[in-house]
Amino acid sequence: MIELADMIRELREQLTSALADGDGRMLRFELGPVEVEASVAVTREGGADAKVRLWVVDAGANGKYGHSETQRVTLTLTPKVVPPGGGVPAAALIAGGEVDGER
């Protein structure tokens, strides 16, 4: 199992890699909302700094985590590209920069 935050972090890395790989290409893809569905096991750690964690469960492994509650979650993420130094985020284009007339 991996934490939900790690899964989202890896998704961000993969999308960033696709963006860099497409730089300078003639064909561009506008990245729209990304929908991610996962089964997660919810666990709670005891102690003074108690935390609730969401772990992504491998397909078919739901029965192995009897000590935790398993839930299905759907996340819709809308990626934006933030220019270096901040500024107003723009829609992410999987390949290259924006061209006049392009949405």
3-48 per-position pLDDT tens digit: 889 999 999 999 889 888 888 888 878 788 899 999 988 887 777 7
Predicted model pTM: 0.66
Residue 92: CB atoms within 10 Å: 19
Cβ–Cβ < 8 Å for 66, 43: no
Residue type, 52: V
76-96 per-position pLDDT tens digit: 988 887 777 777 776 666 655
Domain boundaries defined on the chain:
2-91
Cβ–Cβ < 8 Å for 72, 36: no
What own/partner pairs with CB < 8 Å and gap ≥ 24 does 96-102 have? 96/22, 96/23, 96/24, 96/25, 96/28, 97/23, 99/28, 102/28, 102/30
